[in-house]
Amino acid sequence: MTTEPRATPTHPPAIEVVGLLKSFGDHEVLRGLDLTVAPGSVHALLGSNGAGKTTAIRILSTLLRPDGGRAAIDGHDVATEPARVREAISLTGQFTAVDDVLTGHENLVLVGQLRHIADPAATADTMLARFGLTEAGDRRAATYSGGMRRRLDIAMSLVGDPSVLFLDEPTTGLDPEARIEVWRTVRELAAQGTTILLTTQHLEEAEQLADRISILHGGRIIVEGTLEELKALLPPARVEYVEKRPSLEEIFLSVVGSAS
């Protein structure tokens, strides 16, 4: 995990949410959501299906208007300054935005053109190298493995150097190897100063990556803190001696690794 920088009076929180409300018909999804994310940190937002994680991300990324409350990215209000917010953020959803017909390089060039980058081709080359995809750059994305597609998707999200990246269930449907690839990518991004808000249902993912963790339930954050602070909410662990057997995931990775 990275060492979490703190917001200062001259440097506002990367993400600040106060009393956020959102309903769909009679169904209240967010009922006073409060959330603060420090610059350059990885913050995990946990919750069961329907807890409101994706709704919160859609509001923060200006894709959905809240019914009440306030949200800001790098000090810019998502409701009144949506253009400034879009300049500062990028979003990687549960399903990749990769175009299978295009090569990896062409996907990145297209995003660079949409973001009005001065030299999209050079930027594409840089991003392919950064994410270990240079050798696959001229192949159609349809030939990529799940982990490669997700890395390309994240690379596309980072064209233009956004300061805040939303990762909404980034490892959904990935095999264990691909999931570890994505984890490595997230750690590298955090080390380089990108602020990451991660939503996930995989608790191990939050344990591995997050500087701080918030648990969303009933439309509100019910607990927040570091992993150690959350562990302290439970009774002290008892020391017991048990036989440690490898998990199926450990067996899978060991067998695959030894065969490669």
Q: Are 172 and 49 in contact (CB under 8 A)?
A: no
Where residue 174 falls among pLDDT bands split at 50, 70, 90?
confident
Counting the structural domains of the chain, the total is 1
* Mean per-residue pLDDT of the chain: 87
Residues spanned by the domain of 202: 39-52+82-98+144-233+241-259
Q: What is the pLDDT of residues 193-246, one digit of tens each?
A: 999 999 987 888 899 999 999 999 989 999 999 989 988 887 776 777 777 777
Which pLDDT score, from 0 to 100, does residue 1 have?
47
Where residue 41 falls among pLDDT bands split at 50, 70, 90?
very high
Has residue 161 been placed in a domain? yes
Has residue 59 been placed in a domain? no
For residue 191, give the CATH number of its domain: 3.40.50.300
16-30, 173-187, 220-234: which has the minimum mean pLDDT? Answer: 173-187
Which pLDDT score, from 0 to 100, does residue 248 have?
60
Has residue 120 been placed in a domain? no
Which residue reads 């919160």 in tokens? 56
47-51, 134-138, 162-166, 208-212: which has the minimum mean pLDDT? Answer: 47-51
Q: Are 33 and 219 in contact (CB under 8 A)?
A: yes
Q: Is the pLDDT of residue 259 over 70?
A: no
Which pLDDT score, from 0 to 100, does residue 243 have?
77
Has residue 220 been placed in a domain? yes
Has residue 158 been placed in a domain? yes
16-30, 184-198, 229-243: which has the minimum mean pLDDT? Answer: 229-243
Has residue 180 been placed in a domain? yes
43-47, 90-94, 159-163: which has the minimum mean pLDDT? Answer: 90-94
Categorise residue 99: left if φ over 0, alpha if ψ from -120 to 50, beta otherwise.
beta
Phi, psi of 171 (to 5 degrees): -110, 15
Q: What is the pLDDT of residues 103-114, one digit of tens each?
A: 999 999 999 999
Has residue 202 been placed in a domain? yes
Q: Is the pLDDT of residue 78 over 90?
A: yes
Q: Is the pLDDT of residue 26 over 90?
A: yes
Which pLDDT score, from 0 to 100, does residue 134 have?
94
Has residue 159 been placed in a domain? yes
Q: Which residues contact 222 (CB under 8 A, 6 or more apart)?
A: 215, 216
Of 107, 89, 91, which Cα lies nearest the Cα of 99? Answer: 107
Distances from the Cα of 97 to the Cα of 10, 67, 235, angstroms: 35, 28, 44
